[in-house]
Amino acid sequence: MSHLGGLRRIGPFEVPALGLGCMNLSHAYGTPPSAATAERLLLAALDAGVRLFDTAALYGFGANEELVGRVLAPYRDDVVLASKCGMTGVDGKRVIDGRPETIRRTCEEALSRLGTDVIDLYYLHRVDREVPVEESVGALAGLVQEGKVRAIGLSEASADTLRRAHAVHPVAALQNEYSLWSRNPELGTLDATRELGVALVAFSPLARGVLTSTPPRMADLRPRDIRHAMPRFAAANYPDNLVLRGQVEALALGAGCSVAQLALAWVLSRGPHVLAIPGTRSVEHLLEDLGALGLALPAAVLDAAGRVLGADTVRGPRYAATTQAEIDTEAFPDAG
């Protein structure tokens, strides 16, 4: 049986295994929710026991940091606040910039937007191919020494890059996409994080909403929704992927849980150093997700889910070629 309750370590902190990814409250999935809806969701997460809240300078080009900082300000000492630098909005466009001077400036801006004097966990959001990761991590280490950051992390980074970064300054967390349909960490970073004592924080653990009770209908997605550009949602692939999703849901129903709960339980079962940060705009879905922490699922059910939906069965790569070129993580030859 897989028991998921209890706390997991991320750098100097101990938090429940499920945090909250805050991106979709301001960014990437079409029109953001109202301020009132976003605030209600954040406070509901806090009330339900969530302690790890994940934002970034990129999300809403600063708007998400402002939102999270404002709503959580009265509870600052009760939460672990994570944000990211190295990829920001410049003149309305997304820019990857890992230069030390940019990281330092972005941190000052983040502290102001978050309304705090220290960021608990600060990630390099993307590895800048024009800047050695050692230089970017050196800047993050300087922020730790100055007391502006408590711990540092990397996002969308490979095992080799993690090792290089960790040699400069201890890396508390590596945030990579990990779910039943995105298995890239199994190409190296799952083992490397375990070996180095680094937390592996899984983003998009519910497969961009596919592994939920309401998988996205492409006809309903707003024009600016990032899933339009993702090959797994293309007309040639998405129907087949929904069939696989249905098979996972059948396993979940047989085990007495929801498809989202099974998907989250599967991710958390990959190791005691693995955490996940699903995102949602719905309090109902939030509480459903958190229900995964109370599950004790048979290993046979988890293994079956992993066989039904995985690198060998999913249709389409994780990203389009232009986006994949910016990503440092290991990739499967055909499925991204």
Take residue 214 and report the two structure tokens written for it: 């309401």
Query: Could you tell me which of 74, 49, 50 has the C-alpha nearest to residue 279?
Result: 50
Q: How far apart are the first and last CA of the chain?
A: 31
Contact 204, 230 (CB under 8 A): no
Contact 8, 272 (CB under 8 A): yes
DSSP designation for 55: -
- Report how far apart, in Å, the C-alpha atoms of 114 and of each of 66, 84, 235 are: 5, 12, 40
Write out the catalytic residue numbers. 59
DSSP H or E run through 149: strand 149-155
Query: Could you tell me which of 257, 241, 208 has the C-alpha nearest to residue 311?
Result: 241
Query: Locate tokens 């492409």: which residue?
Result: 218
3-class SS letters over 187-218: HCHHHHHHHHCCEEEEECCCHHHCCCCCCCCH
Spell out the residues 6+ positions from residue 205 whose beta carbon is closer than 8 angstroms to its own: 178, 179, 263, 264, 267, 276, 277, 278
Spell out the residues 6+ positions from residue 303 whose beta carbon is closer than 8 angstroms to its own: none
Q: How far apart are CA 307 and CA 248, in angstroms?
A: 10
